Amino acid sequence: MGIYTVTYAINALSSIVKKRDAKLLNIITLGLLIFVSGTRYYMGGSDVYVYESVYEHVTSVGNILRYMILGSNLGVNENYEPGFLLICSIAKTFHFTYFGFILVYAATFYVLLYVGLKRFVDSWAVFLALFMYKIMFYNTFISIRQGMTLAIFCFSLKYILDKKWVKYFICCAVAFLIHRGAIILFPLYFVQYIPMSKKILKYFAIGFAPTWLIRNHVDLSGVIQRVIDTIGYAQKSEGWMEATETISIIHTLECYIIILLCICFFDYIIEKGEKAKLSLQMILFTLPIFTLCSNWIILTREKDYFVLFYGIVLGYIVTSEKLSFENKQVIKACIFLAAFIGMVRYVLVFDGGVLWHFTSFIFEGCSIWS
């Protein structure tokens, strides 16, 4: 837990120092995050061993390209997306071990995240605090395929703002080749056309709140089955049709706290322009996910594309010129404390606390080269 705490503390410190020093601390924080996500030694549950096996047995780049273009299968693992297998195969071509692959993969994730969001994020300290709590462990330790699609989504957001739909859909296609769950990204281009106002946000929040009580009666299996039939990978996707991995009410309450803050500080947020409007439009989708549809495992996987914007909009609040310095400090302190408690809770709860003691492969004598 020590390395997580140090990283978190350095990040929080960046919110109270001068702008030039803050940039340096942001870089240090990102470097530490790459270290944590990229050098972890068999941390992340059973998925770690699954991904290692996939990597070690991946076929050649030529065979994968032949499969993607011609459909001819010469040793390609059809249980995994060809885009991800291609990345693995390219890494093996450069003689990276599995640990080397994970390090390069994590570095790529954070580069895409930073480059994509630097136009959106006004407070990296607030964003990364929420990131370490809500997103980091699942998307960089456990489900690394989905994590990469999240990073690609971040990179593609500027194309939504700039109305460059061809480039956006190309990014979506690349993400889909890495993880089929990225199919949800295609329609998100049109989220920008959803009307947004304080009144709409309030009505949505009020309207979806009581639907949490009827979540057990919502059946999405038919819709999910049609999606699976469309995208393939039926064997790997069969669990998507189960209502067995419910979203905790804690996450629902967190969602409503964020929505309440968005309503209370709506004018402070929306003054940031189109990027703020798009962020609020994305956050709107957390309401049905955490209420009406909170019983379905598929949405526990897709939620992070929207939860990502929690830290962005909170950053707009604490950097608003309309807010007094004292109020900014109080709000930031509450955010940092709440996110840290949430992060500690996640580390303690996941797989009985296996993430608590961080181990780096660097200190285990492992090489990144084969």
pLDDT tens-place string over residues 113-170? 999 999 999 999 999 999 999 999 999 999 999 999 999 999 999 999 999 999 999 9
Distance between CA atoms of 225 and 229, rounded to whole angstroms? 6
Bridge partner residues of 40 (DSSP): 360
Chain-centre distance of CA 154, in angstroms? 9
Question: Phi-psi category of 32—alpha, beta or left, where left has phi over 0 and alpha has psi -120 to 50?
Answer: alpha
- Tell which residue, 122, 115, 148, 150, has the closest CA to residue 312: 122
Distance (Å, whole) CA 224 – CA 233: 13
What pTM value is reported for the model?
Answer: 0.94
Domains of the chain: which residue ranges? 1-193+347-370, 194-323
The values of phi and psi at residue 353, to 5°, are: 90, 25
pLDDT of the chain, 370 residues: tens digit per residue: 899 999 999 999 999 999 889 999 999 999 999 999 999 999 988 899 999 999 999 999 999 999 999 989 999 999 999 999 999 999 999 999 999 999 999 999 999 999 999 999 999 999 999 999 999 999 999 999 999 999 999 999 999 999 999 999 999 999 999 999 999 999 999 999 999 999 999 999 999 999 999 988 877 666 666 766 666 655 555 455 555 567 889 999 999 999 999 999 999 999 999 999 999 999 999 999 999 988 877 777 799 999 999 999 999 999 999 999 999 999 999 999 999 999 999 999 988 889 999 999 999 999 999 8
3-state secondary structure of 154: helix
Q: What integer pLDDT is reported at residue 44 of this predicted model?
A: 85
- pLDDT for residue 294: 86
How many Cβ atoms sit within 10 Å of the Cβ of residue 93? 10
DSSP codes of every residue in 73-111 = -SS--TTS-HHHHHHHHHHHHTTB-HHHHHHHHHHHHHH
Q: What is the pLDDT of residue 225?
A: 67
Q: Given this model, what pLDDT does residue 295 score?
A: 85
